Structure formats: C-alpha cells, structure tokens
Amino acid sequence: MRLLPFSFILPLLFLASCNEPEPVTRCVIDRVQVIEIDENYFDDTIDEGAPDIYAELRDAESQSILFTSGVAEEAQLPVDLDFVAVNIEAEDFATAYEFTVFDDDVATTQDFIAVGLPFVVNDHVDAERAEVDITDGATTIRVYLIWY
C-alpha cells in the first residue's frame, strides 16, 4: 500500500518535465568562414599577393548593407571573418539575405570574389544547424549560427 501514493506521483513528475521546447526567436550569425574561392575571380592587374578577404551581408531585396566584416589580410584559406554583431529576429526569418565576398585592394576598387550567396534563416531554423555551407559552385562559405 505504501507504493500506491508513489506510483501516483511518479507519472505527475514525468508529465511536468515534458514541457514543449521554447520556440526559436533569434538567430545570431557568429562568424563566416571562407573555405574556398574561385581562383579566377576578376582581379586587377596589380600583383598584391594573397587576397585581403572580407564579406558583407545584404538584404537581398533592397541591397542595403547590414554588416561588413573586418578584413583578413593576406588570407590563407580557410579564413574566419567575425560577424558576431548580426542578430536576426524571428519576424525577419523569411527575409532573403545575401553574402558578398571581396578582395580588398589598396590600389584599386574592391574585387568581387563571390556575389549574392543566398541565405534565408527559415531554411535552417527547423534543424537549428550550428553551421551552414553556402556555395555558388566556385566559392564556398560556412556560416556559423547561434540559436536563441
């Protein structure tokens, strides 16, 4: 008879611990790693050594720049670019974004290494992947994500 009250409490404890997980409300782009670049990207004629790589995140529709990383000078691949300041809230998960990768040149304008690498948070929120690879077939970046 002593087991009867305990057998009643045990299922209640189990049910109390089966709460629904909290919905994801924020995605942070922690960093972008440039893994591979097209060696034949349009480069100017001045030999400046290895590329000085940086990346931008843009709103695909308006083309407004949301974030620009620092420059990794004389970059040897793979190279990490810090993006820790980028927070995307749940209401913007369906927004189309684009990454553009550049070679920062001192003597000329920036050379485009990759343009319009697409990223939509909704494509990845269900799996809550910690990293996502994006490629255009020649350039590949890995986007590191933190979910809240």
13 domain-assigned: no
Q: What is the pLDDT of residues 14-72, one digit of tens each?
A: 444 456 678 899 999 999 999 999 887 765 556 667 889 999 999 999 999 999 999 99
What is residue 16's predicted lDDT score, i.e. its pLDDT? Answer: 47
The secondary structure of residue 1, as a DSSP letter, is -
113 domain-assigned: yes
Residue numbers of the domain that contains 63: 23-147
Beta-bridge mates of residue 26: 89
Structural domain count, the chain: 1
9 domain-assigned: no
| 75: Cα separation from own chain's centroid | 19
User: What is the Cα gyration radius of the chain?
Assistant: 22
30 domain-assigned: yes
For residue 42, what are its two tokens?
A: 């349009």
What is residue 27's predicted lDDT score, i.e. its pLDDT? Answer: 97
134 domain-assigned: yes
3-state DSSP of 41-59: CCCCCCCCCCCCEEEEEEE
| Cα-Cα-Cα-Cα dihedral sign, residues 120, 121, 125, 127 | positive
Tell me if 94 sits within 8 A of 60, measured CB to CB: no
12 domain-assigned: no
Q: What is the pLDDT of residues 80-137, one digit of tens each?
A: 999 987 999 999 999 999 999 999 877 666 688 999 999 999 999 999 999 999 999 9
Q: What is the CATH number of the domain that holds 33?
A: 2.60.40.150
For residue 84, what are its two tokens?
A: 């820790």
Torsions phi, psi for 86 (to 5 deg)? -95, 110
